[in-house]
Structure 1
């Protein structure tokens, strides 16, 4: 398999609890913090937000590709990704996700079809398939 791109990020310090994130090209540099809702200090981003951002950006690219393949013209695209840290009875942590897709310029059935197609194309969706609960909700706006 040919490599298209490798994103490299280094995390230092205490990871999600006060660590720092830096990309190899210097374009991403940010602090990490445990969310206040989870008993932390908050005030900085966290792994779930970063994961949701990456997945959302990739997913919209997949939506655009699916639309182009079908010759569907979209007037707007928006996805809100909810990446949820879960905690089981066995004290193990996991993830679940909801992708809330809003597409302009199409009817509801087309929005749903494009959401499903994007979920098959997107590398983040492929990587999580069968590993975590994922729901794709597509709405025509």
Structure 2
């Protein structure tokens, strides 16, 4: 596998203690969350807590949305109403251990479906760093719904 170098523009640092039943926060304090294992995974599912999968889904959805915006701008297309929904599933893998799977949905009523699909595919294939990091590592489904 070829690893390409990046020119760092920004860094994010977070510290987690206690694993899935602990606490995570960023060094700048912009994100601070308590974690607990959901009942579906055999945990307590404490009220007011989140999971690593929720954090990943939120980050991937935001990053993917930014990539869609960037790709659209490169084609001089405005997609002001784009809605990106990222669903992250977690569970046991056939090969052992646990894995995740992602279902991404991009919706816009301001761009025809085929044009939106081209922009979204470009965002996924060429721009989004989360897509680059997960490509061929996890199951990924993409749904595009345009005007």
Q: Which range, TM-score by smaller chain?
A: over 0.9
1:19 to 14, 19, 22: 22
Q: How many pairs were matched up?
A: 139
| 1:76-128 Cα deviation digits (max 9, x unpaired) | 01111011113124432111101011123110101211211110210000000
| Equivalent position of 1:2 in the other structure | 7
Q: TM-score, normalised by structure 1?
A: 0.93
1:134 and 2:137 matched? no
Runs of 4+ with deviation above 4 angstroms: none
| Equivalent position of 1:52 in the other structure | 57
1:94 to 75, 79, 99: 99
* Segment drifting more, 62-71 vs 89-98: 89-98
Q: TM-score, normalised by structure 2?
A: 0.89
Measured on the aligned residues, the alpha-carbon RMSD in Å equals 1.2
Would the aligned equivalents of 1:104 and 1:140 in 2 still touch at CA under 8 Å?
yes
1:34 and 2:37 matched? yes
Q: Extract unaligned runs of 5+ from structure 2.
A: 1-5
Q: Report the secondary structure of 1:71's partner residue.
A: coil
- Deviation of 1:33 after TM superposition, in Å, equals 0.7
Whole-Å separation in 1 of the counterparts to 2:95 and 2:70:
41
Whole-Å separation in 2 of the counterparts to 1:118 and 1:28:
26
Would the aligned equivalents of 1:115 and 1:137 in 2 still touch at CA under 8 Å?
no
Whole-Å separation in 1 of the counterparts to 2:85 and 2:76:
24
Q: Report the secondary structure of 1:5's partner residue.
A: coil
Whole-Å separation in 2 of the counterparts to 1:69 and 1:89:
41
Which one has a larger percent strand, Structure 1 or Structure 2?
A: 1
| 1:12-65 Cα deviation digits (max 9, x unpaired) | 12x11x200011001111100111222211121000000111111100000000
- Deviation of 1:72 after TM superposition, in Å, equals 1.0
